[in-house]
Chain A
Amino acid sequence: MAKERIHINLVIIGHVDSGKSTTTGQLVYKCGGIDHRTIEKYEKAATQMGKGSFKYAWVLDKLKAERERGITIDISLLKFNTQKYTFTIIDAPGHRDFIKNMITGTSQADAALLIVSAAKGEFEAGISRNGQTREHALLAYTLGVKQLMVCVNKMDMTEPPFSQKRYDEVVKNVSVFIKKIGFEIGAVPFIPISGWIGENMIAPSQKMPWFKGWKLKRKEGHSNGRTLLEVLESLLPPVRNAGKPLRLPLQDVYKIGGVGTVPVGKIETGILKPGMVLTFSPAKLTAEVKSIEMHHQGLQTALPGHNVGFNIKNVSVKNLRRGDVAGNAQQDPPSDVNSFIAQIIMLNHPGKIKVGRFAELREKLDRRTGKKLENCPQYLMSGDGATVKLVPNKPLCVESFFHYPPLGRFAVRDLKQTVAVGVIKSVEKVDQAKKMSQKAPVSK
């Protein structure tokens, strides 16, 4: 690796049988990730066993078996490189807790790749009303993943193979569906591929001469190409919010002998430097940063995305805790909130949700267009979008999604289920120390 590539988190969504694992496997296999010795070892074994022609699938199977045993934590299995970028793949599982993790977890997706199967029946099932595909795509959109790509997979399994008619049919259907969610169709490239045999993945396919290439219209500029790799290469680099005021949510606070108090967390926006005076919220403390370390190495400037530990003066470990947010005391310091207004989407809530769970139900919205449907609705149900007011029952520091995206989204959990997801529209910060308490199961 000669130069530093920009890092992109790519979430892969699609129905169980869309072939997404095969497709990502193909990318990782061809573009880096798996180290060459491992591949060579397996390829050799495959040839010896007479699996020469299926060696790719065979190697993938082996790697999958390896992962199932959990014996490798090498995340490189899910990494690959293009000219400009290093991709880390998040292969979205069907696990019910994944959604919560996608919202509150540490690694956020920068772009989403939707894979649908063109094979007869599989496409129809994959995109059906109760499908996970819908939920994941909707979620990606709600959480601000605006760059979406669509692969129409399994083109080798259409009837007849590589059928343009079938491709057009699938594209038409998917377009309607993602448009309903809210994506701008012009900015969503479609590519017919076969992850299995690798058509249109790395190199243009000879088997689909009718495919004239994908097009992409963004306000940042147009682009076009023929392969999936080219699409990935054309992605806009994620905006790292170094110019914004500092926000650093704490994950842990350590007490180190001879050093003192060391909070650790990931910088979401802004920069952190030794000597800076920080405000912690809702702890309401200020302290000066003495030094910063990352992976046991001292840092003079820490940037967004960095997971850092820093040493502060005159603050006891007891006064800080996980969930506190650090910010620059001189530049828009963080503050806890009295209440906040959020736009939410109800996911799988059994029955109706009424006022009382949320402090106020303000408006019911069409979750696709965001248009108001109803003022002060009596209740909400699964699938509804709404603007609601929430009042935290203990001090909490959150921000509006617009200003500090990572601090502006949340999941509503009830009985170990994610019943709603939301983004914060506006916050009402605490000026004095008066607080209200209200029942609202918010986890962030």
Chain B
Amino acid sequence: MSGLQGLAQENIWFDKSRYDEAERCFYEARNGIPQTSQVKTSLQASKGHTRAQKPRERKTSQNASKSEDQSELVSRFKSLELDNKNLHKVVDDLRATLSKLESRMAMLEKGQSPASKSVTVTKAAPVQTPKVEKHNGADDDDDIDLFGSDEEDEEAERIKAERVKEYSQRKAKKPALIAKSSILLDVKPWDDETDMSKLEECVRSIQLDGLLWGASKLVPVGYGIKKLQINCVVEDDKVGTDILEEEITKYEDYVQSVDIAAFNKI
């Protein structure tokens, strides 16, 4: 009985959690882990879903040991990095929106003063960007090296790549220009009796996407022969000289040959 009495007076088990805590503190102090970290980790553990932590880790963090604390730190780093990336993204998005607005403004301004055009406007925006990108470039593996590594050192290459990147960003802002060329064609008849007005009519009847016929004139060659000199404007990506030549020489009753007299960028 007396033994049971003793046990009944023993209240240590009712406060078990307190004793456990004390014990843990003791051991932690012995192993030199500061009290505060423990508090932090448990705090963090309770914080839940927003951070990228695995639930298992959260559970185990209660009986924290040294090694677990470290993995905790790593995961924290990860989450911070993730946050950082997200922020970068947001900044980029903002920049994109800004540039869009600016290009719109440039277009509007262009309507009024084609002179000042995009030069001044486009210049302003990207000044800030390179520094941010430098950081990005340093720790992001997916940063594309546009040039591959040549004999030049990496630093120079990176600066170059950055500038090009920045340039293409700026470029993307500009309203896309359709590249056009002006081609002056010489269309030659068979003889001095070829009906040149009919020949011109035939040539002008050719219709292609991206082709615009312009002014024309008859140029004396010699012995009464005249050639038709006709200007056309083509969109570089749509109309080639081969197709022009092919189409014109199809009118073989009138056309002997076609030559390109001048070929210029517009």
Contacts and interface: CB of A to CB of B under 8 A. Distances in A.
Contacts of A54: 113-116
A322 B257 CA distance: 8
A89 B263 CA distance: 10
B113 A97 contact: no
A100 interface: yes
Contact of B261 (A71, A106, A121, A257): A106
Given A309-B221, A416-B242, A91 B164 contact: no
Nearest to A16: B179
Given A54-B116, A73-B231, A100-B241, A252 B256 contact: yes
A94 B235 CA distance: 10
Given A105-B260, A121-B166, A251-B257, A128 B225 contact: no
B260 A106 contact: yes
Contacts of B51: none
A122 B123 CA distance: 12
Interface residues of B, number: 62
B170 to A, nearest CB: 7
B124 interface: no
Interface in A15-68: 16-17, 20-21, 51, 53-55, 57-58, 61, 64, 67-68
Contacts of A105: 259-260, 263
A295 to B, nearest CB: 5
B264 interface: yes
B117 to A, nearest CB: 7
A96 interface: yes
Given A71-B214, A125-B167, A97 B242 contact: yes
Interface string A92-103: 111111101100
B265 A21 contact: yes
Interface in B140-195: 146-147, 160, 163-164, 166-168, 170-171, 179-182, 184, 188-193
B181 to A, nearest CB: 4
Contact of A67 (B213, B223, B266): B266
A257 B233 contact: no
Contacts of A295: 219-222
A349 B58 CA distance: 60
Given A252-B257, A257-B193, A416-B242, A90 B263 contact: yes
B223 A293 contact: yes
Contact of A71 (B215, B223, B266): B215
B263 A124 contact: no
B236 A91 contact: no
Interface in A401-444: 416
Given A54-B113, A70-B214, A95-B236, A259 B147 contact: no
B222 A95 contact: no
B240 interface: yes
Contacts of A120: 163, 166-167
B221 A96 contact: no
Nearest to B226: A296
B62 interface: no
A22 B232 CA distance: 22
Interface in A117-154: 120-125, 128-129
A252 B123 CA distance: 53
A93 B240 contact: no
Interface string B226-266: 00011111101000111000000000000011011111111
Contacts of B265: 20-21, 91-95
Contacts of A96: 236, 240
A101 B241 contact: yes
Contacts of B179: 16, 93-95
Interface in B95-114: 113-114
Nearest to B215: A73
A157 interface: yes
A180 B65 CA distance: 64
Question: Of residues A51, A97, A125, A253, which shows the largest number of chain B Cβ atoms within 10 Å of its Cβ?
Answer: A97
A331 interface: no
Contacts of B6: none
B216 interface: yes
Contact of B224 (A20, A253, A256): A256
B217 interface: yes
A90 B192 contact: no
A121 B164 contact: yes
Contacts of B214: 69-73
B180 A68 contact: yes
Given A93-B181, A120-B166, A254-B192, A98 B222 contact: no
Contacts of A308: 222
A354 interface: no
Contact of B236 (A58, A94, A125): A94
A272 interface: no
A196 B171 CA distance: 19
A72 B215 contact: yes
Nearest to B244: A97
Contacts of A55: 115
Nearest to A260: B223
A69 B233 contact: yes
Contacts of B181: 93, 95, 98
A123 B167 CA distance: 9
B213 A70 contact: yes
B263 to A, nearest CB: 5
Contacts of A83: none
A64 B265 CA distance: 10
9 contacts: A71-B214, A72-B214, A73-B184, A101-B260, A120-B167, A124-B160, A252-B256, A295-B222, A322-B257
Interface of A: 16-17, 20-21, 51, 53-55, 57-58, 61, 64, 67-73, 75, 78, 89-98, 100-101, 105-107, 120-125, 128-129, 157, 196, 251-257, 259, 262, 264, 292-297, 307-309, 311, 322, 416
Given A78-B262, A125-B171, A256-B223, 8 more contacts: A68-B233, A69-B214, A70-B232, A95-B234, A121-B163, A121-B167, A128-B146, A256-B224
